[in-house]
Amino acid sequence: MGLLTQTHFQTLTDRIYQRLAAAAITPLPNMLAANTEEGLAMYLDEATGDPVLQAALLSQAAAVDRQALHANQRAWAEDAMSWRAGQEFVKAINTYVKSADGGAYASLAAYVSGVAATMHPLVAEFFRKVLGAEALTLSGATVGAIPPLQQMVAFDKVYTGALGALADDTTDAGDVDTADVALFAADNDYLVLQSRSQFNRILLELSTLASVDCALLFYYWNGTAWTTLSVTDRTTGLTVNGGEITWTLPADEVPTNTDAQGTPARFNTAEEGEYYTILVKRTADTVVTPPVATWLLTCPDQVLLATGGLFGLPQPPLALCRITGTNAVSVTSILNPSTRFLLPSADNDALKLRAITAFTNDVTFTLGYKDQAGAASTQSQGAWSQPIAAGDTKIITLGSDTGLSEVTAATCAVTTAATRGMFAIEVGDYRRAIGAK
């Protein structure tokens, strides 16, 4: 006879994660792309003229078609957790560790704490679903639940050029291998950005600056028309590598796949799933040197429990840091860690700085934060040596602290000769490696 060791428990729960991921996470992008104009809502809207029929079915049809959107990921994952065999296995683990043969632990949380075991955040949600909300709580503190990733993401779809003849630049826009996203070659050209998650930031690296302000206009879909957005453009029409364009999330924004030419034109007739979409239009008559981007990213929306707390799926980054001048940085806190999970730590190099733009100067960043006990602290990260390319990372150290509970913008600082550029503070990995199936 032998006890369930930390290694055995972690390997078993990692394999549960692989099965949950296959059911709850992997299918989502393909399923959304498959919701074409012959999807439920689009078919009802275009093929029937019966207002009574549409009133009865259209709302529910749209809910089915949009099940794969980011806002629905939690519900989709929870549906996958109805997996009966997996639930019975979790119950068996719980029974065993409380038995004499399993160590006679008072609870699963006591066992997890006793053997110092950890589990993927989605598996933590599964254990809570099966055993109750407090299954991983011991003396008021969370045990075992690895924090979710918190990082920037690529757009699901990126198109460039003229409406009706758009080029699909999704792959090129999502990587930093080469400067290969040519933008706004002609007046009235568009950049189309689509995401399963509602977003209010464009994060980008420009390898070639526009020779003049491209006079950009921004639009979102309100359900019936393309509506102008008022933005803060730190790139000044793509003439400087400011790294960020932001706006306030519109309350009436809805996903779409209809372009600005009018119904029934689509951005891509081969992949017509409805995404949250921002149109960016060049209105400058003459741009001798059009801009070229290395990549375009955004911050995903939060994935929340029905009660409002963070759910164990990937989340937005902790913070964004913008160099505003020599030795000056503006830090915007995006999302602090959740107490439903262990705090992010330096274990497994999980905490990282990631460059949004390139830097040709050294950057020495001082992280201001609250530690595992909620006490204010700062930690200089040492020189991030140039040349720093977009996408480069620097591991964050916390000294003797074991966790970060909050990024404190007011106590962050930077020493650099750079006068412009951006980087993110991310939870870019898990506190330990998650094993394969």
Q: Please compute, for residue 338, the number of CA atoms within 13 A of its CA located in the half-sphere on the CB side.
A: 23
- Compute the distance between CA of residue 103 and CA of residue 110 in angstroms, rounded to an integer: 10
CATH number of the domain to which 211 belongs: 2.60.120
One digit per residue, the tens of pLDDT, for the chain of length 437 reads 468 999 999 999 999 999 999 988 888 888 887 776 667 877 887 788 788 888 899 888 888 888 888 888 898 999 999 999 999 999 999 999 999 999 999 999 999 999 999 999 999 999 999 999 999 999 999 999 999 999 999 999 999 999 888 999 999 999 998 888 999 999 999 999 999 999 999 999 999 999 999 999 999 999 889 999 999 999 999 999 999 999 999 999 999 887 777 655 778 777 777 899 999 999 999 999 999 999 999 999 999 998 888 999 999 999 999 999 999 999 999 999 999 999 999 999 999 999 999 999 999 999 999 999 999 999 999 999 999 999 999 999 999 999 999 999 999 999 999 999 999 999 999 999 997 65
Residues contacting 382, CB < 8 A, separation 6+ = 364, 397
Provide the token pair at 389.
């390319």
Please provide residue 52's backbone torsions phi and psi, each rounded to the nearest 5 degrees.
Answer: -70, -45
Residue 282 included in any domain: yes
CB-CB contact of 194 with 158 (8 Å): yes
Which amino acid is present at 93? I
Going across the sheet that includes 328-333, the strands are: 328-333, 319-325, 421-427, 351-355, 393-395
Which amino acid is present at 277? T
Residue 432 included in any domain: no
The three-state secondary structure class of 392 is: coil
Q: Which of 230, 263, 298 is at the close of a domain?
A: 298
346 and 264 fall within a common domain: no
Residue 308 included in any domain: no
Please provide residue 98's backbone torsions phi and psi, each rounded to the nearest 5 degrees.
Answer: -90, -5
Residue 312 included in any domain: no
Region class of 195: left (phi > 0), else alpha (psi between -120 and 50), else beta = beta
Residues contacting 269, CB < 8 A, separation 6+ = 37
220 and 93 fall within a common domain: no
91 and 179 fall within a common domain: no
The three-state secondary structure class of 204 is: strand
Residue 378 included in any domain: yes
Identify the CA nearest to 398 among candidates 378, 374, 413: 378
227 and 286 fall within a common domain: yes
Q: Which of 263, 298, 333 is at the close of a domain?
A: 298
- The conformation of residue 119, written as its DSSP 8-state character, comes to B
- Say how many C-beta atoms besides its own lie within 10 A of residue 397's C-beta: 14
Q: Which of 80, 112, 142 is at the close of a domain?
A: 142
CB-CB contact of 402 with 345 (8 Å): yes
- Compute the distance between CA of residue 429 and CA of residue 336 in angstroms, rounded to an integer: 16
The three-state secondary structure class of 39 is: coil
210 and 138 fall within a common domain: no
**Domain range holding 293?**
153-298
202 and 258 fall within a common domain: yes
17 and 63 fall within a common domain: yes
Residues in the chain: 437
255 and 336 fall within a common domain: no
Residue 269 included in any domain: yes
Provide the token pair at 346.
């330096």
Provide the token pair at 338.
């959740």
249 and 373 fall within a common domain: no
- Compute the distance between CA of residue 199 and CA of residue 240 in angstroms, rounded to an integer: 22
Residue 362 included in any domain: yes
199 and 113 fall within a common domain: no
CB-CB contact of 271 with 157 (8 Å): yes
288 and 389 fall within a common domain: no
- Integer Rg of the chain from CA: 24
CB-CB contact of 378 with 411 (8 Å): yes
- Compute the distance between CA of residue 434 and CA of residue 437 in angstroms, rounded to an integer: 10
CB-CB contact of 337 with 426 (8 Å): no
Residue 433 included in any domain: no
**Which residues on neighbouring strands pair with residue 247, listed in sequence order?**
231
166 and 291 fall within a common domain: yes
Which amino acid is present at 183? L
The number of domains in the chain is 3
